[in-house]
Chains A and B, each alone.
Chain A
Amino acid sequence: DVKVTQSSRYLVKRTGEKVFLECVQDMDHENMFWYRQDPGLGLRLIYFSYDVKMKEKGDIPEGYSVSREKKERFSLILESASTNQTSMYLCASSLAGGPGQETQYFGPGTRLLVL
């Protein structure tokens, strides 16, 4: 059974703080993803990674960075948190490969509030 865990379920930070969101998966998946989900906007891809130390920008990378030093761990960093980064952050992982292997498995999400 795939398990994706995220370091916090709820987080409250102040404007300007550096924020780290951690994600760990236990299924040896090559691909990992960070999304944010906001009402009316759906899931939007922030960054993804195909392999250790590899990263690719998604649709909304501004204000974020990522780190993947180990295969099982993918971190999302908010360099200087702003109120418009208040959101639900979801991490996901999947196998590499072609059609049929793209199912993404999600962590429980982190609700971040930036004051």
Chain B
Amino acid sequence: RKEVEQDPGPFNVPEGATVAFNCTYSNSASQSFFWYRQDCRKEPKLLMSVYSSGNEDGRFTAQLNRASQYISLLIRDSKLSDSATYLCVVNIGNQGGKLIFGQGTELSVKP
């Protein structure tokens, strides 16, 4: 089983749609969770950290379910500029700073 699993997509949605990405992780000792965004042929960039109570940043909402070892990212009112690959990222407990990246979910927002 992969340490971090995501649906690779692609998700093709119209502008204005709401889209949700899911991610599961296998290491119950994980303590830190992130969503990164990667544009085509560019480097990954931090989109948001995921806190245990869930957190929101504008149109983006992240949620964490530790019991189910599940993380989600919700994007409301999708924009063309949201088209990218979204990477679910998890630390692996006590290995100080080492992160595991999911393979990413590709999102394409169409006019």
Contact = CB atoms under 8 A, between A and B. Distances in A.
B44 to A, nearest CB: 5
Contacts of A41: 103
A42 B104 contact: yes
B32 A42 contact: no
Q: What bracket does the count of chain A residues touching chain B fall in?
A: 20 to 34
Given A42-B102, A103-B34, A103-B49, A109 B43 contact: yes
A108 B39 CA distance: 11
Contacts of B34: 103
A94 interface: yes
Interface in A52-111: 90, 94-109
Contacts of B17: none
Contacts of A101: 97
A94 to B, nearest CB: 5
A99 B91 contact: yes
B19 interface: no
A48 B91 CA distance: 14
Contacts of B32: 99-100, 102
Interface of B: 31-32, 34, 42-46, 49, 87, 91, 96-99, 101-104
A101 B102 CA distance: 19
The 7 lowest CB-CB distance pairs between A and B, nearest first, are: A42-B103, A106-B43, A43-B101, A31-B97, A99-B31, A99-B32, A102-B32
A45 B98 contact: yes
A35 B103 CA distance: 13
Contacts of A40: 103
Nearest to B43: A106
A94 B42 contact: no
A109 B46 CA distance: 16
Contacts of A94: 97
B64 to A, nearest CB: 13
Interface hub of B96, B102, B103 (most chain A Cβ within 10 A): B96
Contacts of A35: 101
A46 to B, nearest CB: 12
A48 to B, nearest CB: 7
